[in-house]
Amino acid sequence: MAAVDLTTHPGHLARRLQQAHYLLWNTMVSEEITSPQFAVLNALVAEPGLDQRTVGERVGLDRSTIAEVISRLGRRGLLDKVRDPQDGRRSLLRPTDDGLRTHRKLAVRTARMNQVFLAPLSAAEQAQFFDLIRRVSDAAEGLRNPAEPLVPQG
Amino acid sequence: MAAVDLTTHPGHLARRLQQAHYLLWNTMVSEEITSPQFAVLNALVAEPGLDQRTVGERVGLDRSTIAEVISRLGRRGLLDKVRDPQDGRRSLLRPTDDGLRTHRKLAVRTARMNQVFLAPLSAAEQAQFFDLIRRVSDAAEGLRNPAEPLVPQG
DNA sequence: CTGAATTAATCAGGGCACTGAGTATTTCAG
DNA sequence: CTGAAATACTCAGTGCCCTGATTAATTCAG
């Protein structure tokens, strides 16, 4: 006995939500390009020439994961990766023509999928949905570095 | 240009939410036992003697993933796995004494973590949060098998 | 200018999540 | 009773996600 009701556990709900999304993405958007891959491509369409670490920051992927995702996108010929002549540690990334085409195509399908995914909610509820999830995520993210002791701001 | 705003994409938000949860779990609950592992243990505390497939159903893990999670819990000595004498295909699972102890300990910590995680929301908002996520997940889950042609209900 | 941080990227290793294919066991039609 | 279908599980392969350690390049103090 003493077992817990997981339907009131946000972590469990988050996992289920992501699984549901994965399913829909696979059937409605693409079986080749994943959602994180699209996010990276999208960041590079917005800001071509970013380095790997910054792209990871933009889309919320750590250094190891972003390296893998970028390697896959590179293998598929969707982005170019060149060493920064100014700073030999960095690789500068930008989408290829094929990458731009793929991004445009998937952006349309993604919008359609989002509509289906959110269809059970009214417009007001969808706004609530975004707001609540964002607030919880941001707050937890903020707990990462519990206020730097040195040079707090400026 | 033509880049999309990911902050209005439920899939992206779901991923961020799960990452935030992962972070908090790791610091506040356990670095050894993961959240899916706890979910499996919890299911077996509620219903000892379940077979692998059913446990997977209860906690939302597919056949392959549940096999891995159970193998890890078995290696840690938190559950026992015996072949069903009635049906040689099944393995019957039940928590060990150590598994029960671990479950009790983690249940307490998990409750504390959930409070911290949901602290940015009022009680009413927390209820909304559960409701909205559950409705979206359930609806997408329902799209898996688009209405069985045989014996719809009963 | 040189040695000590700092920084970007990589590598090794563990865990979650899915699909498609294969194996063993049970069930069920004939 | 026997062969086909269904079922529980396993295995191989791909991809996401994290941490800690390592490598290469840059920056910065002395």
Using CA atoms, how far apart are residues B17 and B150, in angstroms rounded to an integer? Answer: 38
Question: Would residue B154 count as lying in a domain?
Answer: no
The backbone region for B136, taken as left when phi is positive above 0, alpha when psi lies in -120 to 50, beta otherwise, is alpha
Question: Would residue B140 count as lying in a domain?
Answer: no
Q: Is the pLDDT reported for residue A146 higher than 80?
A: no
**C-alpha dist (Å) from residue B138 to A21, A24, A123, A145:** 11, 12, 18, 35
- Find the closest chain B residue to A142 by CA distance: B20
Q: What is the pLDDT of residue B143?
A: 78
Q: What is the pLDDT of residue B1?
A: 61
Q: Which pLDDT tens digit goes with each residue over B106-139?
A: 999 999 999 999 999 999 999 999 999 999 999 9
The crossing angle, in degrees rounded to 10, of helices A35-46 and B10-28 is 110
Chain-wide mean pLDDT for chain A? Answer: 92
Question: Would residue B18 count as lying in a domain?
Answer: no
Phi/psi of residue B54, nearest 5 degrees: -65, -40
Q: Which pLDDT tens digit goes with each residue over A48-89?
A: 999 999 999 999 999 999 999 999 999 999 999 999 999 999
Question: Would residue A14 count as lying in a domain?
Answer: no
Number of domains in chain A: 1
Using CA atoms, how far apart are residues A60 and A69, in angstroms rounded to an integer? Answer: 12
A152 touches chain B (CB under 8 A): no
Question: Would residue B85 count as lying in a domain?
Answer: yes
Strand C within 7 A of B37 CB? yes
In the sheet that B50-51 helps form, which strands lie side by side, from edge to edge?
B50-51, B91-95, B79-83
Q: Which of residues 38-77 of A touch B (CB under 8 A)?
A: 39, 42-43, 45-46, 59-60
* One-letter amino acid of B94: R
Confidence of residue B141 (pLDDT cuts 50, 70, 90): confident
Question: Would residue B22 count as lying in a domain?
Answer: no
Residue predicted with more confidence, B2 or B92: B92
The domain in which residue A106 lies consists of 22-141
Decide the pairing of beta strands B50-51 and A79-83.
Answer: unpaired
C1' of C2 to CA of A150 (Å): 28
Q: Which pLDDT tens digit goes with each residue over A10-33?
A: 999 999 999 999 999 999 999 999
Q: What is the pLDDT of residue A144?
A: 74
Q: Is the pLDDT reported for residue A147 higher than 70?
A: no
- Find the closest chain B residue to A60 by CA distance: B16
Per DSSP, A7 falls in state: G
CATH number at residue B73: 1.10.10.10
Q: Do A114 and B9 touch (CB under 8 A)?
A: yes
Q: Give the dihedral sign, CA A115/A117/A118/A119.
A: positive
Burial class (CB in 10 A: 0-12, 13-18, 19+), A81: middle
pTM over 0.95: no
Residue predicted with more confidence, A113 or A149: A113
Question: Would residue B81 count as lying in a domain?
Answer: yes
pLDDT average, residue stretch B6-17: 96
Q: Is the pLDDT reported for residue A152 higher than 70?
A: no
Question: Would residue A146 count as lying in a domain?
Answer: no
